[in-house]
A and B are shown apart, each in its own frame.
Chain A
């Protein structure tokens, strides 16, 4: 089963490399700055203005990839839970139709609700430290998404988010 986080990580790497290339266009004398930067927002700016923009973009990119990784991870858990609806067909009391109705109800519940905190369902197969770290990534994601208000929680670097969430999915048999 492919890791659903791989495409996000690959795109993040591409973005990081692209930022690096723009920096080189500004700094390396042999690269024709004007030609390289024409028809971009950098063209009319000073080098320092460009570098400031690139620093901001890099910081935002680091945060955005953590948000994207967690959202995709969360969707994977939610989809897995929703797929279990078929198991409810086995509920035959008071009638075979009950199991079918129960499965439909569960499916509708999964589609409607956010189901944004399912990690504890996997506590029997995922190590405690990984569970705690995933909870910390979730907290950090919320802190970022809600305007960084309140005390800063433990931070999350992009590779640590990728590695921790991937380990969880592997331990849960979902990748």
Chain B
């Protein structure tokens, strides 16, 4: 039961971090493109560790440019504490929430805890990365802390312009 309570708390933390991410992106977009419109829809996630739960996706409708959709992908993943994908007609970019340094994150399944794993954190996999949401820079094989510059120059330029 204790393990299940930890899993539910982890999900709630993940949902709170998603809310913070969406609030930040609303603020940035309102500055970059004042005519932008937002809407939210509910998606259902079903992770083995947690069972089913609801999360929100955020749609960003832009004037004359491809819309963006931020889609939660789940709390339990190797190497991070949650993932949100950013999608448009031009492709997909990935955001993950990591602690400082992006420590290795693995899971152990202990007897009696059923499908709920114990989280194990280790050495920094991405030294220098700050705690919070980070953009997965696949070409650079690294993470980049999500700030306005990364959002504008990496994510919007990849998914949100016409080329």
Contacts and interface: CB of A to CB of B under 8 A. Distances in A.
Interface of A: 9, 12-13, 16, 19-20, 23-24, 26-29, 51, 58, 127-137, 140, 150-164, 167
Contact of B94 (A20, A128, A133, A157): A157
Interface of B: 46-49, 66, 73-74, 76-80, 83, 89-92, 94, 96, 103-108, 115, 117, 120-123, 125-126, 136, 138-139, 141, 158, 162-163
B120 A158 contact: no
Contacts of A130: 104, 106, 122-123
A6 B100 CA distance: 26
A contacts with B: majority SS: helix
Contacts of A133: 78-79, 104-107, 120, 122
Contacts of A127: 104, 122-123
A106 to B, nearest CB: 30
A136 B139 CA distance: 24
Given A58-B91, A163-B79, A132 B120 contact: yes
Interface centre among B96, B115, B141 (most CB of A within 10 A): B141
Contacts of B123: 127, 129-130, 167
12 contacts: A129-B122, A130-B104, A137-B78, A151-B48, A156-B79, A157-B94, A159-B138, A160-B77, A163-B79, A163-B125, A164-B106, A164-B125
